[in-house]
């Protein structure tokens, strides 16, 4: 397994560690519920250094991004970011990602999922027919996400960058905790606000930034947070997780990602995906809430009252905020309306649930 620059920190803090996407990662420290509430009500620090970062540079960089992503990156100016996805050749999704515009038309950073890093690199390389300069900076880039309503208040003490007025899906570059050329972005995946800190892992940068972040945050109650709470937080917001809610077989339209799919340009599988939008799809990703007792889990089957299989659970948990069992699922479109009751098959027993609007919290 690979380590991040902070792996020993997690071990020293007593974190429950496990393999994730080839990395030795913290799952929890004091418990998922406790960490979840810390982020919702105060602030928490996630080590997400396992994520992949690719730099694309040159006069054809934007052209390449436009061909391989669903969103319209031509709208980006310096300091702005955009959620997007890589459609595959069959109208499915290679991965979801964030595109950061470092320098308009000529320099971009693509942030991809750790589990898809090599797959994504191969995909981008395959379509790089114009000689765009590509650099995989994943192994030398550290990334911490400080999330929660008090995160910006704490982090502002470590930089002259104006974090208070940093708008969602924008970023700034400068000195942070005495380290130069740090990217501080507002692109978190928890719905709780906060910032993400990208910096080069060299010298004592990681040690210095980690120590300073906790120096200013710990007195106010900020905590380290594991991947377990990261999952419950994103699920409460209805945010997709690659490998669960979206994958190579799911269309952006089925997944409710039409808002990041722009047909004002040409991109991989555009015609097929546009047909999905125009003609409709047979299934739809929806939020579900359990009516009867039980927790929906990944791949649990869903039936209608006649016993017909109509879909399956993609993600599910007991929501710490709502104290209810919630999930996301693909269901037949005619049964995907809000309020419709469905049956989740839990240990061969039909357990009642209903379709609800997302986000859950």
Q: What's the Cα-to-Cα distance from 129 to each of 64, 65, 126, 175, rounded to whole Å?
A: 8, 12, 8, 36
pLDDT of 180: 97
> What does the pLDDT read at residue 251?
98
Q: Looking at the structure, tell me whether residues 207 and 309 fall in a common domain.
A: no
Per-residue exposure over 2-16, b if at least 16 CB sit within 10 Å of its own CB, e if not: eebbbbebbeeeebb
Is 31 in the same domain as 158? yes
- The structure's pTM equals 0.97
Residue 42 within a domain: yes
Within this chain, do residues 144 and 232 fall inside the same structural domain, yes or no?
yes
Q: pLDDT at position 74, please? A: 98
pLDDT at 245: 98
Q: Which domain holds residue 288?
A: 282-356
- The reported pLDDT for the residue numbered 322 is 97
Residues 30 and 145 grouped into a single domain: yes
Could you tell me if residue 254 is inside a domain? no
pLDDT of the residue at 249: 98
Q: DSSP state, 334?
A: G
- CATH no. for residue 151? 3.30.1360.120
pLDDT at 226: 98
- Please say which residue of 205, 236, 267 terminates a domain: 236
Angle, vertex CA 88, rays to CA 86 and CA 93, nearest 5: 60
Q: How far is CA 102 from CA 171, 180, 185, 251, in A?
A: 9, 16, 12, 29
Residues 163 and 221 in one domain: yes
**225 and 148, same structural domain?**
yes
Per the structure, the count of domains in the chain is 2
In degrees and rounded to multiples of 5, residue 71 shows phi and psi of -85, 170
Establish if 323 belongs to a structural domain: yes
Question: Could you tell me if 198 and 328 lie in one domain?
Answer: no
pLDDT recorded at residue 17: 98
Same domain (yes/no): 152, 225: yes
Question: Are residue 145 and residue 31 in the same domain, yes or no?
Answer: yes
Is residue 58, in this structure, part of any structural domain at all?
no
- Let me know if residue 268 belongs to a domain: no
With residue 214 as reference, give the H or E element that holds it: helix 205-217
Residue 127 in domain: no
Q: Answer whether residue 26 is part of any domain.
A: yes
Establish if 53 belongs to a structural domain.
no
> 346: which strand partners?
349
| Nearest-angstrom CA–CA distance, 89 and 116 | 17
pLDDT at 214: 98
- Residue where one domain finishes, among candidates 173, 204, 236: 236
165 shares its domain with 224: yes
How far lies 145's CA from each of 135, 148, 217, 236, 317, in Å?
A: 23, 10, 13, 18, 22
pLDDT per 10-residue tile (average), the chain, 361 residues = 97 98 97 98 98 98 98 98 98 98 98 98 98 98 98 98 98 98 97 98 98 98 98 98 98 98 98 98 98 97 96 98 98 96 96 98 92
Cα–Cα distances in angstroms (integers) from residue 259 to residues 73, 82, 83, 255, 358, in the given order:
13, 11, 10, 10, 15
d(CA 83, CA 96): 8
Q: Are residues 145 and 41 part of one domain?
A: yes
Where among 201, 236, 271 does a domain terminate?
A: 236
For residues 42 and 149, state if they share a domain.
yes
Q: What is the CATH number of the domain that holds 333?
A: 2.40.30.110
């Amino acid at each position: 397994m690979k380590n991040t620059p902070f792996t020993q920190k997690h071990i020293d803090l007593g974190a429950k560690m496990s393999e994730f996407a080839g990395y030795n990662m913290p799952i929890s420290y004091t418990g998922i519920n406790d960490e979840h509430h810390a982020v919702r009500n105060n602030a928490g620090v996630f080590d997400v250094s396992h994520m992949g970062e690719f730099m694309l540079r040159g006069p054809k960089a934007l052209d390449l991004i436009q061909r391989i992503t669903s969103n319209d990156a031509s709208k980006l100016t310096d300091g702005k970011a955009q959620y997007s996805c890589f459609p595959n050749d069959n109208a499915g999704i290679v991965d979801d990602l964030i595109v950061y515009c470092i320098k308009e038309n000529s320099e971009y950073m693509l942030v991809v999922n750790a589990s898809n890093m090599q797959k994504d690199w191969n995909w981008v390389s395959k379509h790089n027919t114009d000689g765009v300069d590509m650099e995989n900076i994943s192994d030398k880039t550290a990334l911490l996400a400080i999330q929660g309503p008090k995160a910006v208040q704490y982090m502002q003490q470590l930089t002259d960058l104006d974090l208070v007025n940093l708008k969602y899906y924008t970023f700034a570059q400068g000195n942070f905790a005495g380290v130069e050329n740090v990217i501080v972005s507002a692109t978190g995946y928890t719905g709780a606000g906060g910032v993400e800190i990208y910096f080069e892992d060299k010298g004592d940068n990681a040690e210095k930034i980690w120590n300073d972040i906790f120096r200013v945050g710990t007195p106010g109650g900020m905590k380290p947070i594991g991947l377990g709470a990261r999952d419950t937080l994103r699920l409460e917001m209805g945010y997709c997780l690659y490998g669960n809610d979206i994958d190579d077989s799911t269309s952006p339209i089925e997944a409710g990602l039409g808002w990041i799919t722009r047909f004002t340009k040409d991109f991989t599988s555009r015609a097929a995906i546009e047909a999905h939008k125009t003609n409709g799809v047979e299934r739809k990703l929806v939020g579900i809430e359990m009516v009867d007792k039980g927790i929906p889990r990944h791949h649990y089957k869903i039936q209608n009252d006649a016993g017909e299989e109509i879909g399956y659970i993609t993600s599910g948990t007991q929501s710490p905020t709502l104290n209810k069992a919630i999930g996301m699922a693909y269901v037949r479109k005619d049964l995907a309306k809000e309020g419709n009751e469905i049956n989740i098959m839990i240990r061969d027993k039909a357990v009642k649930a209903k379709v609800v609007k997302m986000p859950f919290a």
